[in-house]
A and B are shown apart, each in its own frame.
Chain A
Amino acid sequence: MPLAFDWTQLVQQTVIGLASGGVWASLAVALVLIYRSTGVVNFAQGEMAMFSTFIAWSLVHQGLSYWAAFFLTLAVSFVGGVAVERAVIRPVERAPELTVVIVTLGLFFVVNGAARWIWTPETRSLPNAFSTRPIDVGGVAFSIQDLGTIGVSLAAVALLWLFFRFTKLGLASRASALNPEASRLVGVRVSWMLALGWGLAAAMGAVSGMLAAPALASFDQNLMQPVLLYAFAGAVLGGIDSPLGAVVGTMLLGVLINLLGTYVDWIGSELRLPVALAVILGVLLVRPAGLFGHVAEQRV
């Protein structure tokens, strides 16, 4: 235990925490998108993101640059997300919520199995999107990769926000999430809006996966499972119906977990996640709808 408190270390650890939060943020936004339109948590979101990441890996393996593969994968993921919604979610659109949840659990196994079937389960790696060189700001060393991860993730979320806020399609999809009946009456094709939501969510998940993979020395088909846990926890912390909340929630969670692991010896690496979840539960008991969530009023 150092006698003088080391501020540089605190700032550095906070940025590292923000970077891991940034990776989780786009997956958390994907969860929020589907929750707002379908009303369930998509347990397969992480696996779909993993699948996208493997597509990106194949493209890079074919000789494309990281960024070319990145954008191509986004497009493929969007189409894939729409296709998944049409194939398995649309038939259970009117079924009880838990039925939809179980379908996404089934999808979890299907996508994971398919990825291990297509790409054998050896470990592999993606090139770094950013330089790993550290830069020095006022005596504090940041890695460009961490800052880039935070940047890309925030940019993706910002683009999504612009889409929902300023385009007619975005307005229609917000309307159909809020009040499907009324939207149908004014001519919005609500069912296709759900598919659009799934496509966008798949693309956001792909961003998360393609940011997560290069940060690791190697990855396999279980790449996104821990990410899904953190994204879920962060999204709930921020309020599951709020994309902004999802970003803030996951970033807070990233910082919290990193600082807990650094400064509290007793927690170590083993208890990081449980302790973070306990903190979130504490927050939820005070604010049951999360930090930015809305309390739904209901009619009897």
Chain B
Amino acid sequence: MRRRSLGIVAWLVVVGAVLAAYALAPRLVSDFHSRNLAEAGIFFIAIVGLNLLTGYTGQISLGHGALMAVGGYTTAALVVHEHWRDVWTIPLAGVAAGIVGFVIGLPALRLSGLYLALATFAFAVAMPSLLKKFSGLTGGSEGLRLLEQAPLQVTGLSGTVTVLGHTTTQNHFLYYLAWGIGLLGFGLAWLLVRGQAGRTLRAVRDSEVAAASVGIDLAWTKTLAFALSGVYAGVAGALLAIQNEIVNPLSFTFLLSILILVGAVVGGLGSLPGMVVGAFFVEYLPDLSTRVSNAQGVPDFVYGAAIIASMLLLPNGAGGLLRRLARPLTTRLYLRP
């Protein structure tokens, strides 16, 4: 009984610390810097979504940048063409990318491993060309400019945003928005993976044959995991569009898909808390590597070397390290005496 209550106290402390960090972080950094924090939050959402698919269900995706494009363009098109207020488009962007994710998941029923990687890769490579081809809706290679084409729908145009009587700067608002949605998405993902649905996903990851023989519908589980992961990517894409106030085919290149994957693996597949580390890694590493030296090619060299070094030091990502560090604590909390 005492251990149980100790466990509850430990959880409350963790949740409290996370919420406090969420609320106070913008006060510790400059207004401009909270924009970077907001972007880290956006990566966080996409990486958590990819982790559900790759880390828990074992399906590789090299196309999450393209799913983010679906979300970003849904937001931009609704704002520019239909004059929706930008923040209210986020749920719809998630739904749109979720549907596209479901459709991409269909080949996954027949393809596995590398072949699935090619299918998602094809989607990522094709996306910029498709966006340019259907220029009526997407603005072609010019893209859509939220600020210039629909200024009245952009939140925080005047520089400040007032929510429930509290006034914050636009950058702080973006931070709270991105990480608020991020924490919500994290919570939902956590509830999902610790319950029966999570066991189903992991069973598909560990052995498809074994999963099928205990009655798991592989087709349904895989496509659903793709759809769910797509919702996260779509929401992240929408937030990216809102933050940058512009979308064009270059906003969502294949490199973005790669970065999301790097973030998920560095964070540690199959570990949700590790995804925070993955998000910060993806957000800050390019900036840090330019600080080493600005000479031609050196930032890329440092960037790549850092990725390799982190994999050599932590083959299971930051999540693997967190698990190892937390083990003495968690075993004490959960094991019966």
A interface residues, Cβ below 8 angstroms from B: 35, 41, 88, 91-92, 95-96, 98-99, 101-103, 105-118, 120-121, 229, 232-233, 236, 240, 270-271, 273-274, 277-278, 280-281, 284-285, 288-290, 298, 300
Contacts and interface: CB of A to CB of B under 8 A. Distances in A.
Contacts of B115: 236, 240, 284, 288-290
A120 B311 contact: no
Interface of B: 54, 60, 107, 110-112, 114-115, 117-119, 121-122, 125-126, 129-130, 132-133, 207, 209-210, 213, 258, 261-262, 265-266, 269, 295-308, 311-312, 315-317
B118 A109 contact: no
Contact of A277 (B125, B262, B312): B125
Contacts of A121: 296-297
Given A41-B117, A113-B301, 4 more contacts: A108-B304, A111-B304, A113-B303, A288-B110
A111 B301 CA distance: 7
11 contacts: A92-B312, A95-B316, A96-B316, A106-B305, A116-B300, A229-B125, A270-B132, A274-B129, A277-B126, A284-B119, A300-B207
B210 to A, nearest CB: 5
A112 B129 contact: no
Contacts of B60: 98
B315 A270 contact: no
A118 B296 CA distance: 9
Contact of A102 (B118, B129, B207, B265): B265
Contacts of B209: 298, 300
B265 to A, nearest CB: 5
Interface majority SS (helix, strand, loop, mixed), chain A: helix
Given A113-B301, A274-B130, A280-B122, A41 B114 contact: yes
B226 to A, nearest CB: 15
A102 B311 contact: yes
Contacts of A107: 304, 308
A273 B125 contact: yes
A116 B298 CA distance: 8
Contacts of A102: 261-262, 265-266, 307, 311
Contacts of A274: 122, 125-126, 129-130
A91 B312 contact: yes
B268 to A, nearest CB: 10
A191 to B, nearest CB: 16
**Nearest 6 Cβ contacts at the A-B interface:** A109-B304, A116-B297, A113-B301, A113-B300, A106-B307, A274-B126
A33 B145 CA distance: 46
B6 to A, nearest CB: 34
B269 A98 contact: yes
A92 B311 contact: yes
A31 to B, nearest CB: 10
A91 B117 CA distance: 24
Nearest to B259: A105
Contacts of B213: 300
A107 B306 CA distance: 10
Nearest to B300: A113
Contacts of B300: 109-110, 112-113, 116
Contact of A288 (B111, B312, B317): B111
A109 B266 CA distance: 16
Given A98-B60, A102-B262, A281-B119, A110 B304 contact: yes
A107 B258 CA distance: 13
Nearest to A277: B122
Contacts of B315: 92, 95-96, 99
A290 B298 CA distance: 39
A113 B297 contact: yes
A271 B311 contact: no
A103 B119 contact: no
Contacts of A117: 295-298, 301
A105 B316 contact: no
A285 B129 contact: no
A270 B129 contact: yes
Q: Which of B107, B118, B258 counts the most A-chain CB atoms under 10 A from its CB?
A: B118
Nearest to A236: B118
Nearest to B296: A116
Contact of B311 (A41, A99, A280, A281): A99
Q: Which of A110, A120, A271 counts the most B-chain CB atoms under 10 A from its CB?
A: A110
Nearest to B265: A102
B114 to A, nearest CB: 6
Given A88-B308, A96-B315, A300 B210 contact: yes
A105 B258 contact: yes
A284 B112 CA distance: 11
A288 B54 CA distance: 20
A281 B107 contact: yes
A53 to B, nearest CB: 16
B118 A112 contact: no
Contacts of A105: 258, 261-262, 304, 307
Contacts of A290: 115
A117 B301 CA distance: 9
